Structure 1
Amino acid sequence: GGNIFRGLQGSAQGMERTTADYMGMLATVMNALAMQSALEAKGLHCRVISAIRMDEVCEPYIRRRAIRHLEKGRVVIFAAGTGNPYFTTDTAATLRANEMNCEAIFKGTKVDGVYDKDPKKFPDAKRYGEVSYDEVLQKHLGVMDASAIALARDNRLPIVVFSLDEPGGFRAILEGRGTYTRVHS
């Protein structure tokens, strides 16, 4: 929901942090509903599941219900993070991926993988093809917040980091091609 509202930025501008985080979670629900609409226009069956109850627009998060939707071949979009302030959407994604028994997390970003420093600022930045969870944490590589990385590490859940800006990039990653970084043990 950072395209609509980012909780940390609101907090940095003097807004109370909890309120700012809740506003960020609500922004993720709006994005999830937009994504649902786009996917349904393509003929896909889709459900938005929110960690914050808002029964008129989406389903509440119930693990077994989410698993059943997946078993029926539906796309499930998790919204509103964990439903708790102070937790990022990266941590929420890692939590839900573990709860759904996913094989990996695919993290689309503005760059085509994990770098030793910001490639937008430093032309000599080196992209990792593979990197360990511990190295990400020790070197503060900024893939995801430390809680998300630790949760992925503790459950041996690989993270694939790729660029959202590359046309056809996600499809290429799923087909085993493309440029990305794999974070694993």
Structure 2
Amino acid sequence: MLDATLLVMTSEVPAAELSEQELGEFGRCLTVLQGASAEEALRLLFPRDSTELMSPAEAQAWEAGDGWPDEDGPSVVRQASYAGEWAGWTFVIEPFGFSGVNCDLTSRTPAPSPYISVHWLEGDSSFVYARQGQEVQSFEPVLRGGELARTPPGEVVVLAEEEGLDWQGRPLSSAQALLDRLSGVQWPDVAVLRERARVAIGYSYS
């Protein structure tokens, strides 16, 4: 397991220290990677049906254009995702999305590596860890505790960095802590990262 003393410390409260209620209050997907810029990461996660890249301020103004047409027409929701750099890593924040955990890493050569993404929304959750474009670990954090409890040792892949994590009692903070251990960075909450983002992309759905 990665020595905690090697973690890059920040002045912000680490997200892994927040309560389950604080972490689960809003949907989110945080993806961190190396080997791709913020712009490249957004294009990788949103290869189609998205806007051109824009500044975070432009994205906020674009999102504010949400519209609810006549009852005979479809409603349209605009959602932006944000990217930037933190402690030597590129990050992408999706406030209510999950493209990070479904990304086709083979679409880019070379694939960004390492690549870690954690997502949760209304009881649904996912964790993905990949290297050199190949998935190393993937599971649902809210189900991880039960999976480990009922599966005989050796029949499920368990990373050394999972040692001591409370998947039964604190699945969301455990997923965040695992992301921290694998990246060697104590990541702050996504609200802090969004303030540090420098580029964004938008997509609409009805």
Bigger relative contact order, structure 1 or 2, given CA contacts below 8 A and separation 6+? 2
- Same fold by TM (over 0.5)? no
Q: Which has the higher strand share?
A: 2
TM-score (structure 2 length as normaliser): 0.27
TM-score (structure 1 length as normaliser): 0.28
